[in-house]
Amino acid sequence: MAKPEVFSGHTDPTMAAKANDLKEELQRLVKVIVDNDDDYDFTLQSIDRASQTLCALKDLKSKKPVSLKLPESLSCPEEFRCPISRELMKDPVIVASGQTYDRPFIQRWLKSGHRTCPQTQQVLSHILLTPNLLIREMISQWCRSHGIQLPDPLQYSNGDGLTEADRGHFLSLLDKLSSTPSNQKEAARELRFLTKRIPSFRQLFGESLDSIPQLLKPLSQNRSQSEEIHPDLQEDLITTLLNLSIHDNNKKIVAETPMVIPLLIDALRSGTIETRSNAAAALFTLSALDSNKGIIGKSGALKPLIELLEEGHPLAMKDVTSAIFNLCIIQENKARAVRDGAVMVILKKIANRMHVDELLAILAILSSNPNAVEEMVELGAVPCLFKIMRESEACDRNKENSVAILHTICFSDRSKWWEMREEENTYGTISQLAQNGTSRAKRKASGILERLNRAVNRTHTA
């Protein structure tokens, strides 16, 4: 009996997708090679991988395009079917639960946000996919015996330009971080480079619960043993942590990894200025999630951030002010910031005309805390804020924040009413803003004037 016809002359969509994946990988590697002028060894590695990818693309193009199609009369063994698609598996892979699926279908399941095994409903400890070579060989033998050619899996992309080769390289770099000091430095430097230049590489850290502890192992070991960490190694690891935290899906898992925030706090206090600045930037990035704001605040990160702000190093100011602002959006962190001396440090910087825009925004947020308002009054914030409002070169946002803070003081402390009336009588500062400011500034300035006028009327009536 003749063997069933299983080939067609049309292009197999799977093979076409593989060709596109290889082209994307090749483009990415060429860009890395062209852009990297600093690391000769890393460039050679990229060239080797580009050459391998080009050979794989050549092999794929030289194959006759086929599509795998089982005739209706032929049924494959149940164990060769993907539990999701119920079709013959072309690229069987094993998930963390030990179950086997066809790669494209389990990838689709995972990309939709699931973190459980479709068959067992077990929560997956990681989402790395391991080729099931035994099942693959058994399927190949069955296909050969029935005259079916199974396409060879060359390089499989997850849709974001990452291949199994990338994953293997990633895991080897994490292993190096548990090796000798020289291997740790080499791996940390390369991870820093990869997570900066290749955004899709950052997502690999979210695929395994152990990857972030592995990344930070050199820092955590030195911390537990009270040993000094090499400044370059610390800088590379903290910067890598910053890079991977930019990926939205990583923010929660990074902040909830117990060692992360304490190590970032250590980095804020000791290390190169770039390490300290990048630690502040990492806290800012992580604080984009409200749940992370509480975690970071409870860990005591605000105090070292305020200390770094007080130092005033130009390289760190932007990141540290951004981090403090984000963290102080929630009430409990406002109290912590005030307790840790934020008001005094901020007012000193504003008086010296340093980063006035950012610091006024922080002060405006803190003004909803009664203790902050009390401290502002004691430290002479009122004349400082009026001076900013009078300055013609002051931007509208700074005037708006200044009058918003004064509005809170006006409604919290009667002792400053006389000073505010004197300012208005002498310069007309408040009424000018009530007429020409932003909508919020007009509202706050009008509120102050109304309160002051009521106070005057009550005095006259009495």
pLDDT at 64 > cutoff 80: no
Q: CB neighbours of 390 closer than 8 A, spacing ≥ 6?
A: 427, 429
Element (H, E) at 102: strand 100-102
Do 213 and 206 meet the contact criterion of CB atoms below 8 Å apart?
A: no
> Does the pTM exceed 0.85?
no
How confident is the model at residue 133, as a pLDDT? 86
Q: Would you state the structure tokens that stand for residue 105, as one six-digit string?
A: 């279908």
pLDDT at 2 > cutoff 50: no
Q: What is the pLDDT of residues 365-384, one digit of tens each?
A: 999 999 999 999 999 999 99
Residue 219: pLDDT band (50, 70, 90) is very high
pLDDT at 44 > cutoff 80: no
Nearest CA among 370, 368, 353, 439 for reference residue 405: 368
How confident is the model at residue 235, as a pLDDT? 97
What is the rounded average pLDDT for all residues in the chain?
Answer: 85
pLDDT at 352 > cutoff 90: yes
pLDDT at 460 > cutoff 60: no
CA atoms of 462 and 456, how far apart (whole Å): 10
How confident is the model at residue 34, as a pLDDT? 73
How confident is the model at residue 18, as a pLDDT? 64
Do 76 and 142 meet the contact criterion of CB atoms below 8 Å apart?
A: yes
CA atoms of 350 and 365, how far apart (whole Å): 15
What's the rounded mean pLDDT across residues 239-260? 93
Percentage, residues of the chain above pLDDT 90: 55
Query: Rg for the chain (alpha carbons), in Å?
Result: 31
Q: CB neighbours of 458 closer than 8 A, spacing ≥ 6?
A: none
Q: What is the pLDDT of residues 391-403, one digit of tens each?
A: 988 899 999 999 9
Phi-psi region at 271: left, alpha or beta (left = phi > 0; alpha = psi -120 to 50): left
Residue 114: exposed, middle, or buried by beta-carbon count in 10 A (0-12, 13-18, 19+)?
middle
**Taking the mean position of all CA atoms in its chain, how far away is CA 272?**
22
Question: What SS3 state is found at 44?
Answer: helix
Sheet with strand 130-131: strands edge to edge: 100-102, 92-94, 130-131
Q: CB neighbours of 114 closer than 8 A, spacing ≥ 6?
A: none
How confident is the model at residue 36, as a pLDDT? 65
Residue 193: exposed, middle, or buried by beta-carbon count in 10 A (0-12, 13-18, 19+)?
buried
What's the rounded mean pLDDT across residues 140-160? 66
Residue 162: pLDDT band (50, 70, 90) is low
Q: Between 310 and 35, whose confidence is greater?
A: 310
Residue pointed to by tokens 């890393």: 42
Do 96 and 88 meet the contact criterion of CB atoms below 8 Å apart?
A: no
Q: What is the pLDDT of residues 294-348, one digit of tens each?
A: 999 999 999 999 999 999 999 999 999 999 999 999 999 999 999 999 999 999 9
One-letter amino acid of 456: V
DSSP state of 97: T
Alpha-helical regions (H) of 198-289:
211-215, 217-224, 231-245, 251-255, 260-269, 273-286
CA atoms of 347 and 83, how far apart (whole Å): 64
Helices and strands in the chain, H and E counts: 24, 3
How confident is the model at residue 459, as a pLDDT? 57
pLDDT at 60 > cutoff 90: no
pLDDT at 138 > cutoff 60: yes
DSSP state of 287: T
Q: Would you state the structure tokens that stand for residue 372, as one six-digit string?
A: 């902050």
Q: Between 7 and 207, whose confidence is greater?
A: 207
How confident is the model at residue 4, as a pLDDT? 33
Residue 7: pLDDT band (50, 70, 90) is very low
